[in-house]
């Protein structure tokens, strides 16, 4: 398993998520009219995740993490294109449901990839490798959050989502590249 490529792709997608997250909150806040709608939007996200976990878990065993992560990155790249043009609370609910599903895909793929790697290599230092993984994804995520703080003075909210879309697409390309390399 090409751990470094996996790590790179994960870092890019987590950074993309960090870039948009605060603006996504603002965006929902603007579309929604009340805290109850805000609650529903996040509730639907989590509920959708909950419902999809068992199914996605089985998928991970059947098709492998890489395919799941491809689904996640390209799915998120498309969802990011929907957000700037979403109007009305029902569009937000739909996007939250989609993202709830994709979020579950990402969580499952990430965890099963990490544990599969540990299992295959018969690592005895599982904690250490998980620490290493989280270190680098978090470092990239932190960098993305800080840089975005500066970017927002120059970019509109719309462009932030398009930027995140590119980042997800790039993560997808990185993952697809790995398959080719493995095929070689």
Binding residues (CB under 8 A) for other proteins: these are 32-37, 74, 77-78, 81-82, 84-85, 87, 158, 162, 165, 169
Nearer to other proteins, 37 or 129 (CB): 37
Q: How far apart are CA 147 and CA 178, in angstroms?
A: 28
Nearer to other proteins, 34 or 181 (CB): 34
Q: How far is the CB of 7 from other proteins (least distance, A)?
A: 24
Nearer to other proteins, 78 or 126 (CB): 78
Q: How far is the CB of 63 from other proteins (least distance, A)?
A: 20
Nearer to other proteins, 105 or 169 (CB): 169
Q: How far is the CB of 69 from other proteins (least distance, A)?
A: 16
Output 17-22 pairs: Cβ under 8 A, ≥24 positions apart: 17/76, 17/141, 17/164, 18/141, 18/142, 18/144, 18/145, 18/148, 19/144, 19/145, 19/148, 19/160, 19/163, 19/164, 19/167, 20/80, 20/83, 20/160, 20/161, 20/164, 22/145, 22/148
What DSSP designation does 122 have? Answer: T
Q: How far is the CB of 13 from other proteins (least distance, A)?
A: 15
């Amino acid at each position: 398993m090409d751990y470094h490529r996996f790590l790179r792709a994960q870092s890019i997608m987590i950074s993309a998520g960090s870039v948009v997250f605060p603006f996504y909150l603002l965006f929902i806040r603007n579309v929604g009219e009340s805290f109850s709608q805000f609650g529903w939007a996040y509730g639907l996200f989590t509920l959708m995740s909950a419902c999809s976990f068992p199914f996605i878990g089985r998928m991970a065993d059947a098709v492998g993490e890489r395919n799941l992560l491809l689904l996640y990155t390209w799915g998120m790249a498309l969802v990011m294109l929907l957000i700037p043009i979403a109007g009305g609370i029902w569009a937000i609910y739909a996007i939250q449901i989609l993202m709830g599903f994709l979020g579950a895909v990402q969580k499952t793929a990430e965890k099963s990839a990490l544990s599969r790697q540990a299992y295959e290599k018969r690592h005895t230092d599982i904690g250490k490798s998980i620490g290493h993984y989280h270190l680098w994804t978090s470092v990239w995520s932190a960098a993305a959050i800080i840089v975005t703080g500066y970017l927002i003075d120059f970019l509109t909210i719309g462009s932030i989502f398009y930027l995140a879309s590119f980042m997800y697409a790039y993560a997808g390309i990185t993952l697809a590249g790995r398959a080719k390399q493995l095929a070689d």
